[in-house]
Amino acid sequence: MDEKERIGQEMKVEQSEIEVTVFMQNSRIEGKLHLPSGGRLTDYMALAERQFVPVTDAKIYLVPSNELLYSVSFLSLNKDFIVFIFPKENQIN
């Protein structure tokens, strides 16, 4: 392993993946958010240095019709436009 690979390995942060639902003004987004292992969604969202939230395997629906607009492998959301966000595991059907 060369020096560059060694430094890259040392800088990697263990992450956990959670499924989230995000509501914006006129859309609902369902996808996966990657948090540092053991991290909480509320702590992650409160980080001032993170203006954008990366979401993978995202599906974007129009609200209120629930029409699927887009399905993308990666999406970067500006926190200023998020109305609310929650883990899908907390969702009550």
Question: pLDDT per residue over 29-38, tens digit each?
Answer: 999 998 877 7
Per the domain annotation, does 90 fall within a domain?
no
User: Which residue type sits at 35?
Assistant: L
Instruction: Tell me which residue range forms the domain holding 28.
Output: 15-85
Here the CATH number for the domain that contains residue 67 is 2.30.30.100
Whether pTM > 0.85 for this model: the answer is no
pLDDT in tens, 71-82: 999 999 999 999
**Cα 33 from Cα 18, distance rounded (Å):** 5
Per the domain annotation, does 76 fall within a domain?
yes
Q: Name which of 54, 50, 58, 73 is nearest 28 in CA terms.
A: 58
User: Which residue type sits at 90?
Assistant: N
Per the domain annotation, does 54 fall within a domain?
yes
Per the domain annotation, does 80 fall within a domain?
yes
How do the pLDDT tens digits run along the chain, 93 residues long? 666 665 555 556 677 889 999 999 999 999 999 887 777 888 888 887 889 989 999 999 999 999 999 999 999 999 999 999 999 876 666
In the chain, the number of structural domains is: 1
Per the domain annotation, does 4 fall within a domain?
no
Instruction: Answer for the pair 39, 47: CB distance below 8 angstroms, yes or no.
Output: no
Per the domain annotation, does 7 fall within a domain?
no
Q: Pairing mode, if any, of strands 68-78 and 27-36?
A: unpaired
